[in-house]
Amino acid sequence: MSTVFALRHLAFEDLGSFEGVLKSRGHDIRYVDATTEDFAALPQDMRAPLFVLGGPIGAYEVAHYPFLNAELRFIERRLAARLPIFGICLGAQLMARALGARVYPAHAKELGWAPVVLTEAGTQSVLKPLGSDPVLHWHGDTFDLPQGATRLASTATCENQAFSFGAHALALQFHIEAEAKGLERWYVGHTMELAAAKIAVSMLRAQSQELAPAAAARGNACLTLWLDAL
C-alpha cells in the first residue's frame, strides 16, 4: 500500500470524491498543509501521485505568502523528475508557474457551474468523460500554456483551462472532485468572495445538489483513466 500526498492550502478544499477512488485502489492519503510544511522534510522521490489542491491566493503572490517559494521548488523538482502530479485550480496555476509560464488575473472571474470545451487533444485524453457537461469553476486567475504542455480544455474566459505535460502531469483550472456535501464548507469559507461576486449561496447550492453527483462521477472516471495510464 502506498501513500498519496495532497498539498492543500485550505482545510476544506480537499480531495473530495477523489478520496474514494484512491482508497479503493489501496492508497493511504496524507494531507500536507502547504502553508506551514517543511518541504525539505517531505519525500522527494514519491512514486505515488502527488495532488496539489486549490486555494484563494495567486501563484504569483510570493511576496505576501513566502511559503509559495518552497512549494514551487518542490513542484519543479517533481515535474523535472517526471513523477506523477495532478493540480487542481491553484494547484494547476502553481504547476504552470513551475514550468515557467506566466500566471495572472483573468479578465473575469469564473465561479459556478459551466462546461469546458475540450480541445481535439482533450477529447482523446483522460478528460474525455467530461464531454460537454458542466464542471465547477471557482477561480479568478489564469495562466499561459507552458512550453511543451498540451492544452486540453478551454472556455471563452480562459483559453487554458487544462493541460497535460507528458504522461505524468495533469493540471485543471476547474474542479472535477467537488461533492455537494463538501461544498457546504466552501460556502462558509468563501462567503466574502461569493458576496463580492453577487452569487446567492442558495442558488449555487441548488445547482450543486443537482449537478455535483454526476459531475463527480465523471471526475472520478477521469482520475481512474489518469491513474491507469501512469
Write the CATH number for 114: 3.40.50.880
The three grid cell numbers given for residue 212, joined into one nine-digit string: 455535483
The pLDDT score that the predictor gives to residue 45 is 86
pLDDT digits (tens, 9 = 90+) for 184-226: 999 999 999 999 999 999 999 999 999 999 999 999 999 999 9
Q: For residue range 125-159, list pLDDT tens digits in order.
A: 999 999 999 999 999 999 999 999 999 999 999 99
pLDDT at 1 over 80: no
DSSP reduced 3-state for 190? coil
Q: How many helices (H) and strands (E) does the chain have?
A: 7, 10
Does residue 43 sit in helix, strand or coil? coil
Cell of 101: 509560464
Residue 219: predicted pLDDT: 98
pLDDT in tens, 17-67: 999 999 999 999 999 999 999 999 998 888 999 999 999 999 999 999 999
As a whole number of Å, the end-to-end CA separation of the chain is 16
Q: In this predicted structure, what is the pLDDT of residue 164? A: 98
Q: Provide the residue range defining the domain that includes 137.
A: 3-229
List % helix, strand, coil for the chain (3-state, nearest 5): 35, 25, 40
Q: Return the pLDDT at 31.
A: 98
Distance of CA 118 to CAs 57, 65, 82, Å?
A: 26, 33, 24
> Residue 107 pLDDT > 90, yes or no?
yes
Total domain count, the chain: 1
Reported confidence tier of residue 111, pLDDT bands at 50, 70, 90: very high
pLDDT at 33: 97
pLDDT value of residue 200:
97
pTM of the model: 0.97
Rounded distance, CA 220 to CA 19, Å?
10
